[in-house]
Amino acid sequence: MNIRFSTRELLDLGAAWVALSVAFSLLLLPGFSGFSVPQAIQTFGLSFLTVGVAFLLHELAHKVVAMRFGKIAEFRADYGMLFVAIMGALIGFLFAAPGAVYHQGRSTLRQNGLIALAGPVTNLVLAAIFAPLAFFGSGFLASIGGLGLTINLFLAAFNMIPFGPLDGNTVKEWSLPVFVAVFVPSLALGLWALFGFGLF
């Protein structure tokens, strides 16, 4: 299977990756007068390598699975929501809905469920990859691991909520047992990451 990207799709992915990294950096930094330029650069790099990667691979997982089912699938950024994310971060609140992968072609409930499931499962796998850095790393590597673990567990839990256009709703419509098997541990780990281990 050849994974192809249109020019517009690459631009949309890049714009969403950078915008989310900027928004999250603004959220992590202290007030405007309380940080230095090197600190800002380091925080952006941290966000780019964690939040950006979590978002990018989540969306690419949707695309790859959709394409495996023979569909045309492309990511489209929502530039209005990217603007909202950055403006919200400036006042200490982040709501990120950067866009989505849209796919064309006939789909069964199972296919739609698996396409939706691919994103949260990818975040769980990424959380496992970041975990050793979080627990055994030091300095900047430990920061990468901690934020990478936290954001991926949060994204997995949030996207598995069975509401509206979120992935969990589609998975639940396809298979309640699969939904429960993924949502319950994702929710538990997400809450642990945010309040027991996380940076927020």
**For residue range 92-150, what is the model confidence (pLDDT) as tens digits?**
877 778 899 998 878 899 999 999 999 999 999 999 999 999 888 888 899 899 999 99
Residue 33's pLDDT band, with cuts at 50, 70 and 90, is low
pLDDT in tens, 20-29: 999 988 888 7
Q: How far apart are CA 156 and CA 81, in angstroms?
A: 20
Mean per-residue pLDDT for 43-66?
A: 93
Check whether 199 has a pLDDT greater than 60. Answer: no
Q: Check 9, 59, 74, 173 and give the catalytic one.
A: 59
Length of the chain (residues): 200
Does 198 score more than 60 pLDDT? no
**Does the active-site annotation cover 59?**
yes
Q: What is the pLDDT of residue 67?
A: 93
* Between residues 39 and 120, the one the model is more confident about: 120
Mean pLDDT value across residues 2-26: 91
Q: Is the dihedral of CA 86, 88, 93, 94 positive or negative?
A: negative
H helix runs in the chain, sequence order = 7-28, 37-68, 79-90, 109-136, 139-159, 167-174, 176-191
Encoded tokens for 137: 């790393």
Q: Phi first, then psi: what are they for 6, rounded to 5°?
A: -75, 165
> Model-level pTM?
0.88
3-class secondary structure, 59: helix
Whether the per-residue pLDDT at 82 is higher than 70: the answer is yes
